[in-house]
């Protein structure tokens, strides 16, 4: 993407045709015709981060494997002038690891006098914003303080990656491709910054919006490998975390807590549906005693029931993974809906099958995470890690702005 006022050929966006001829896809602007030259100091590095839950949509949409869909999407974005395309799995790794440590800490701190539990996930922006803007106490103290994968990715791009490239954070324009419209609100969250006051995500596009741009484009596109944040890796394989349609905080925190708190190694996690498929329970039991009781609450009806129980003090769970969408992040309205705005159930079933076939990689097995903790954050639990990987959840304030939410 070239500067609007640039007349230099190297600043023009080019696409390469089969006969190897370079063809400019931009017509000269009036400013160019007047001979004005661009101010190169205003050029910005374009970075796009893609959520793992978006890839099954592109795979289903274009009838490709998830790996080929990832490469096709990356190639298209780079044909538009994007410099780097990342996948947010590494950010989800960090979010999950911080959530695991926070739950263990809360479990030890919990008492009748200090109610540190339950811990409620805060990675879903629809739920987190509703809790902050509408519910307040007694809900917000129970929200996990670990940043969401999108927020962590903002810190990685605007701080870690910026340092690698010797760039100021404001020299990077960071776009996130996500399955959910609420991710746009998350990017605009007041008071959130990734590094030195810079906004973590400058723009969010839904998967459906990107697919529409792809369908309307006549650019010649060649598949390209997704970039990585680490120089020793050329292309990381597509992977996901455990969970039917989300980043799987429940499963990973449950296994970690069972091992750290009770020295129990959990191989298979059994989900038990209660009121409906959107509210499921997971327990760790020993000698007839329930040691851990976790739940997954998906969809607003289940969220309302959960909040009601919490306010009444009749809450049996240590941890709840809360998601606004009834079937998890895959069913985000930014990708899993028909033209008339209804849920596309056939497409969603196809996406769920594709997503379930993606290999699962636990965050603890990533060799690069320790590198990030040591080189970027000066160690796990350091003040730098706290600033980059954690946030706060304010109580409701009266707001007349258009960003407010009413469910």
- Could you report the per-residue pLDDT of 104-140, keeping only the tens digit for each? 999 999 987 788 899 999 999 999 999 999 999 889 9
The residue ranking higher by pLDDT, 395 or 56, is: 56
Structure tokens at 384: 């730098």
Q: Torsion angle of alpha carbons 157, 158, 163, 167, nearest 10°?
A: 110
25-80: per-residue pLDDT in tens? 343 444 444 555 555 556 799 999 999 999 999 999 999 999 999 999 999 999 99
Is cis: bond before 158, omega within 30 of 0?
Answer: no
Q: How far apart are the first and last CA of the chain?
A: 38
Residue 401 has pLDDT above 50, yes or no: no
pLDDT greater than 70 at residue 5? no
Percent of the chain with pLDDT over 70: 85
Predicted confidence at residue 402, as pLDDT, reads: 42
CA–CA gap between residue 118 and residue 318 (Å, rounded): 4
Q: H helices within 188-278, ranges in order? A: 207-216, 249-262
Exposure b/e, 135-150, CB count within 10 A at least 16 = b? beeebbebbbbbbbbb
Structure tokens at 251: 């499963």
> According to the model, what pLDDT value does residue 25 have?
34
With residue 12 as reference, give the H or E element that holds it.
none
Cβ neighbors of 343 (< 8 A, separation 6 or more) are 331, 333, 336, 337
Check pLDDT > 50 for residue 20: no
Cα–Cα distances in Å, from 312 out to 217, 306, 309, 321, 353? Answer: 54, 10, 5, 19, 39
The reported pTM is 0.85
10 pLDDT more than 60: no
Can you give the pLDDT at residue 165?
A: 94
Q: Which residues 6+ apart lie within 8 Å of 315 measured at CB?
A: 118, 309
Q: Are 240 and 360 in contact (CB under 8 A)?
A: yes
Alpha helix stretches (DSSP H) within 39-158? 55-61, 66-79, 89-109, 125-130, 149-155
Give the model's pLDDT for residue 32: 45
Higher pLDDT, 14 or 309: 309
Given a cut of 70, whether residue 257 has pLDDT beyond it is yes
Q: Looking at residues 311-330, what average pLDDT do you find?
A: 91
CA dihedral 184, 185, 190, 195 (to 10 degrees): -30
- Strand 319-323 with 172-178, pairing: unpaired
Cα–Cα distance, 61 to 69 (Å, whole number) = 9
Q: What is the pLDDT of residues 182-228, one digit of tens each?
A: 999 999 875 555 666 788 999 999 999 999 999 999 888 899 999 99
Check pLDDT > 50 for residue 287.
Answer: yes
The yes-or-no verdict on residue 385 having pLDDT over 50 is yes
User: Do 268 and 280 contact (CB within 8 A), yes or no?
Assistant: no
Q: What integer pLDDT is reported at residue 161 of this predicted model?
A: 95
Per-residue pLDDT at 8 exceeds 60: no
| 365 has a pLDDT exceeding 70 | yes
> What would the mean pLDDT of 261-276 be, rounded to a whole number?
92
Highest average pLDDT, of 43-52, 267-276, 308-317, 332-341, comes from: 43-52
């Amino acid at each position: 993407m070239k500067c609007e006022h640039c007349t230099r050929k190297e600043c023009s966006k080019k696409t390469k045709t089969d006969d190897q001829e370079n063809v400019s896809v931009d017509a000269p602007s009036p400013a160019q015709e007047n001979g004005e030259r661009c101010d190169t100091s205003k050029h910005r590095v374009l970075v796009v981060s893609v959520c793992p839950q978006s890839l099954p949509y592109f795979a289903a949409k274009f009838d490709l494997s998830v790996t080929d869909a990832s490469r096709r999407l990356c190639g298209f974005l780079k044909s538009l002038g994007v410099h780097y395309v990342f996948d947010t799995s590494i950010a989800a790794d960090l979010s999950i690891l911080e959530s695991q440590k926070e739950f263990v800490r809360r479990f030890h701190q919990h008492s009748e006098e200090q109610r540190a539990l339950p811990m409620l996930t805060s990675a879903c922006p629809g739920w987190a914003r509703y809790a902050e803007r509408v519910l307040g106490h007694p809900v917000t103290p129970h929200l996990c303080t670990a940043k969401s994968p999108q927020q962590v990715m903002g810190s990685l791009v605007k701080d870690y990656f910026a340092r690698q490239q010797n760039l100021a954070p404001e020299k990077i324009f960071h776009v996130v491709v996500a399955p959910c419209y609420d991710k746009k609100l998350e990017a605009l969250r007041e008071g959130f910054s990734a590094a030195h006051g810079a906004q973590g995500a400058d723009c969010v596009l839904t998967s459906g919006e990107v697919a529409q741009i792809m369908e309307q484009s006549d650019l010649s596109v060649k598949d390209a490998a997704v970039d990585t944040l680490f120089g020793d890796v050329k292309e990381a394989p597509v992977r996901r975390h455990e969970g039917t349609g989300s980043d799987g905080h429940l499963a990973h925190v449950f296994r970690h807590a069972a091992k750290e708190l009770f020295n129990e190694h959990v191989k298979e996690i059994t989900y038990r549906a209660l009121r409906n498929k959107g509210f499921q329970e997971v327990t760790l039991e020993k000698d007839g005693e329930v040691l851990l009781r976790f739940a997954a609450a998906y969809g607003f009806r289940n969220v309302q029931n959960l909040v009601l129980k919490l306010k009444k003090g009749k809450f049996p769970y240590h941890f709840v993974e809360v998601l606004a969408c009834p079937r998890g992040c895959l069913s985000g309205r930014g990708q899993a809906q028909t033209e008339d705005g209804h849920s596309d159930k056939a497409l969603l079933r196809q996406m769920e099958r594709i997503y379930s076939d993606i290999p699962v990689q636990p965050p603890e097995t990533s060799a690069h995470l320790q590198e990030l903790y040591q080189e970027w954050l000066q160690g796990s639990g350091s003040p730098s890690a706290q600033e980059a990987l954690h946030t706060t959840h304010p109580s409701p304030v009266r707001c007349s702005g258009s960003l407010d939410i009413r469910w």
